[in-house]
Structure 1
């Protein structure tokens, strides 16, 4: 089953209100509205694309160790996956799919890191629950996401919904701003050029990680 098929299956059950979700349809309608507005805003079109130069960064991994993009690129291509947080089931399915593709990525002499605004304890939870062997980096205030053009502020009505669902992003992220990154995947060549970019303002839509492999192999050649 492809990643998108798994995401679609989860979405069908979630939106049908099947246990253990039991989500009222009014909640689903609000989420649909927020996604439609983010798509209509054109924010995704402003994000960095293939051919652009990737911003350099140094972020701490889930164990507090600083990880430098420059150091990773000195070893070969770099795969970045931006995700919302451990609280997002769609993100967890994506991380599992990246992990499943990791042997092929490593065989192409590339490194992989995930980037999320969440604080380190939640990144450790992500790594543990999804059985990840690649680093999860904490991006305070979504600053690196912003440098890639991915950061957006949640609409006020969506903030109210998240609060009602006890989905406390300021606590998850250690940041009161109520911002998130649009889910995105990038492949960066050793010279810092982006050679693959996938950004989707609809968090339920994500390409299979295997789609990156041709770009990774080309960048490593």
Structure 2
């Protein structure tokens, strides 16, 4: 079953399990990212990726520029493992982690969720899970959204810890492929948190990069202008 199919199954289940209209309200709030002038702030293919240093869930510091010395980097932003859609995405990414490495790239996942609240660890997925306190790096990439206080109970119903509600901005589930020069060569931006990029599409982008460019035929995966 593809990730898309698994997400659709979860979406149907949550529409029944969550309070009436909760999932729709969450998706509508995230859709604020699509408002005129808002989406344009987000970094995308063709932009330079800002350097950052973040701790992983074990406390080790991981820096983007240092990772780029080894080759391309795949940055995957997510809410936290309290979100079922994020858990499915992390599991799917774990399935291709070895292939990402074989293609000469490093993959990391980034979320504002504190390390002590996490149920899924780096050891579970075989790639670093970074702690983006206050969504600081998500803000650098222009993909952070602030949940409104009226939605606290709705986020809590989805699983978000009470201590995080209305206290931490959340990133839209974005994916960036950054080449060794620090340029974003492929980007995936979707404000609907119930959608995620297929891991096979990430591999397609890395193969194009390995082969010297070109634009993969992947819906939603935007390539740097040539």
Structure 1 residues 164 and 10: alpha-carbon distance in aligned structure 2, compared to 1, 3 A threshold: closer
CA distance in 2, matches of 1:166, 1:139: 19
Q: Which runs of 5+ in 2 are unaligned?
A: 212-226
CA-CA distance at 1:37 after TM superposition: 3.8
Structure 1 residues 160 and 89: alpha-carbon distance in aligned structure 2, compared to 1, 3 A threshold: closer
2:203 alignment counterpart: 213
2:149 to 135, 145, 156: 156
Instruction: Note if contact 1:44-1:200 (Cα within 8 Å) is conserved in structure 2.
Output: no
- TM-score, scaled to structure 2: 0.84
The answer to whether structure 1 residue 43 and structure 2 residue 33 are counterparts is no
Instruction: Note if contact 2:27-2:192 (Cα within 8 Å) is conserved in structure 1.
Output: no
CA distance in 2, matches of 1:209, 1:146: 24
CA distance in 1, matches of 2:8, 2:24: 17
CA-CA distance at 1:55 after TM superposition: 0.5
Q: Deviations over 1:149-193 (max 9, x none)?
A: 111101232134335777335348xxx633101111110000000
The answer to whether structure 1 residue 5 and structure 2 residue 5 are counterparts is yes
Q: Which runs of 5+ in 1 are unaligned?
A: none
1:113 to 104, 108, 111: 108
Count how many residue pairs are aligned between Structure 1 and Structure 2: 211
Structure 1 residues 77 and 29: alpha-carbon distance in aligned structure 2, compared to 1, 3 A threshold: closer
What is the root-mean-square deviation in Å for CA atoms of aligned residues? 2.3
69-78 or 25-34, which moves further after superposition?
A: 25-34
2:167 alignment counterpart: 177
1:186 alignment counterpart: 176
1:61 alignment counterpart: 56
CA distance in 1, matches of 2:57, 2:146: 24
Residue 55 of structure 2 aligns to a residue whose secondary structure is strand
CA-CA distance at 1:113 after TM superposition: 0.5
Residue 219 of structure 1 aligns to a residue whose secondary structure is helix
